[in-house]
A and B are shown apart, each in its own frame.
Chain A
Amino acid sequence: MDRQEIIDELKKVLTPYMEDKELLGGINEQTDLIKDLKINSANLVDIIIDAESKYNIEIDMDSAEKMTTVGSCIDIITEKMNSKT
């Protein structure tokens, strides 16, 4: 799965926690989940758990704390997927 494919799947993970879904149209790797997508911090753990299920990976808390932007989410998801193979 390349980075674009991960972004496409990540959008599905983020959508339930966004009030303005149109913001997803303009995302890039620098997009901040809280500041730019207006996701409430109370949903951050939900997003980590949903990402674990979506990609069949386990995200430890040292990694989870780095998942603040779309790019860092892709980095962590890629790392965890590669470590399985």
Chain B
Amino acid sequence: MTSTGNDIVALKATNQQRSIHPRFYSKILSLSEQELFYRQVIKELSFEKFVWLLWSVKESVYKFMKRSEPTLLFSPVKIIIRGIDSPFRGGVTRFKYRQWENKNNQAGEDLYKCEIVFGPAIFYSRSKVHDEVIATEVSQNKNFDYSYWGIKSIDSPSYEAQSEAVRAFVLNRLNSILAHDYTDLSIGKNLQGYPVLLSGARELNIPVSLAHHDRFIAYSFILSPNIHTH
């Protein structure tokens, strides 16, 4: 299945005290996932960030799957994270960019990587974790081949501003890659409310995922290899 899923969490817009309360995190994390926190490899993460990292991974998997299963419901504890690799960089830093976008064949520096099981399916995630924001992209391809991902901070936290900015952000990247192949690109919605990429009135078979929360926006999309080589 060709799909993509991403999520972003603006930590200032979450309730820090509540995030670390068992009543809250037990609705997101299984017992085996709670035990992951105490492994040495992720000791640099606060428990709050750990909870939201796993939330963003699970939400991204749900968005990936929902595209092909419109009736799917989001149940975080049913999406199982069975391992986390830390980037070992000695601490979490600020999101110092106005925007960040992955580059082709970029090694996974600074990225937390998870392996996830949901029913019979296996997923891989990569996440950027900063003081203010956690962003995740998931794929069924461990190397994230042909996968494009971007994160940006914006000035206004209003829903309308987020929605408009994330569409402009992803279209800017898509136009830079697809200008030779397609014209008049825009983002529409299908009947289930999922974003679709249009060229004029024609829907393209290029899955796009959008995420926004407070003053942060993010996208992911995946291209087929023949388009990617342009």
Which A residues are closer than 8 A to B by beta carbons? Answer: 19-20, 35, 38, 40-42, 44-46, 48-49, 61-62, 64-66, 68
A38 to B193, CA, bound (A): 12
A41-B27 in contact (CB<8A): no
Q: Quick one: which of B72-96 are within 8 Å of A by CB?
A: 73-77
- A61 to chain B: which residues have CB within 8 Å? 27, 75-77
Q: Is the interface of A mostly helix, strand, loop or mixed?
A: helix
Which B residues are closer than 8 A to A by beta carbons? Answer: 7, 9, 13-15, 18, 23-24, 27-28, 52, 55, 59, 73-77, 158-159, 193, 213
Q: Is the interface of B mostly helix, strand, loop or mixed?
A: mixed
B9-A42 in contact (CB<8A): yes
A24 to B33, CA, bound (A): 36
A19-B159 in contact (CB<8A): yes
Among candidates B9, B28, B158, residue contacting A45 with C-beta atoms closer than 8 Å: B28
* 9 further contact pairs, Cβ within 8 A, besides A41-B59, A42-B52: A19-B159, A42-B13, A42-B14, A42-B55, A49-B27, A61-B75, A61-B77, A64-B75, A66-B73
Contact (A38, B27) CB under 8 Å given A62-B75, A65-B73, A66-B73:
no
